[in-house]
Structure 1
Amino acid sequence: MELWLNDLMQWLALPQYGLSTVFVIAFISATLLPMGSEPAVFGLVKLNPELFWPAILVATAGNTLGGMVSWWMGWGTHQAVNKWRDSSTHIRALAWLEKLGPKACLLSWLPGVGDPLCAVAGWLKMPLWPCTLYMAIGKFFRYLLMTGGLVWLFPTH
């Protein structure tokens, strides 16, 4: 599988696939697959500074749709995790998430916990559209700050 994924990523790295590559990588990285999309966004913007805003928006859209897939995966696996329902960690985490509601999805930008958080929001059957809105807001600001910061740190000639 790694060879197939590596070949796909090399194919997507071709310059003529810039924004579509960013979309696919952002989408995949928002699912439970371990992958970062920020280097792809930064690379595209570094090579094509005029694509700063389109890259931010395309990455946000791809990452948000990937977050929605994670939400649906969580929603669909609600019954599968019933055996862990009584653990104290689970109970505390659920109480915290239920208290915050869909606003917890603002944290979907966090590395390591953000993508599973989207799945948990689905598992808790939080409303999809408010969760999607908060995911999009969090992810937009992550891409804006990360890419803007990298462009500022490493300016083009």
Structure 2
Amino acid sequence: MLTDPAYWSLFFLSMAAATLLPGGSELALVALLADGTRPAWALVVVATLGNVLGSLINWMLGRWLRRFVGRRWFPVTAAQLARAEGVFARYGAWTLLFSWVPVIGDPLTVAAGTLGVKLSVFLPLVTLGKALRYVVLAGVTMGVLG
């Protein structure tokens, strides 16, 4: 497994997809599932780990680099961050279960860092949300292929 470049590609694509870099890991996961040469559970684990690491990078950006909001390279705009902080103020850390949702997920993870959400809260919620997304995607893919 560790020597298979497909796993590494999926890991890094999933990580990048959760950070400031554009990309989507779902298509890569579906393609690897359709290939059928690797266990679905292993692909889901690899994609989840990569995506959670990307979200952790966002949390660190929010935590330590808030002063750079508005810079071109910062993963979210000031407006997106303000919206995400508003959602946090209203609904709390449980919103991190939706960190997988396109467009709002990255700002949520950055906002978690800026608002000082503890890693002991952040990691389980983000991991659960992202893992469930990949499990559902794998289930639907395998159901269509099966």
TM category, shorter: 0.7 to 0.9
Q: Deviations over 1:61-107 (max 9, x none)?
A: 110011000110111233445xxx9x9x93x7534303433222111
Structure 2 unaligned runs (5+)? Answer: 70-77
**TM-score normalised over the length of structure 2:** 0.81
| 1:140 aligns to 2:126 (yes or no) | no
95, 107, 112: which one pairs with 1:116? 107
Contact 1:60–1:143 (Cα < 8 Å) also in 2? yes
Q: Deviations over 1:33-86 (max 9, x none)?
A: 2210011111111112542000001111110011000110111233445xxx9x
What is the CA–CA distance in structure 2 between the aligned matches of 1:55 and 1:71, rounded to whole Å?
24
Q: CA RMSD in A?
A: 2.6
Match of 2:75 in 1: none
Q: Are residues 17 and 120 of structure 1, via their aligned partners in 2, closer, same or farther at CA, if it must alter by over 3 Å?
A: same
Contact 2:84–2:108 (Cα < 8 Å) also in 1? no
- State the identity as a percent: 31
- Offset of residue 112 of structure 1: 1.1
Which letter maps to 2:21?
A: L
Runs (4 or more) in structure 1 with deviation over 4 Å come to: none
What is the aligned length?
A: 137
| 1:38 aligns to 2:29 (yes or no) | no
Contact 1:28–1:66 (Cα < 8 Å) also in 2? yes
What is the CA–CA distance in structure 2 between the aligned matches of 1:60 and 1:135, rounded to whole Å?
10
Mapping of 1:60-75 within 5 angstroms? Answer: 60-75=48-63
**TM-score normalised over the length of structure 1:** 0.76
Contact 2:96–2:108 (Cα < 8 Å) also in 1? yes
Contact 2:33–2:141 (Cα < 8 Å) also in 1? no
What is the CA–CA distance in structure 2 between the aligned matches of 1:127 and 1:79, rounded to whole Å?
20
Structure 1 unaligned runs (5+)? Answer: 1-15
Contact 2:17–2:24 (Cα < 8 Å) also in 1? yes
Match of 1:5 in 2: none
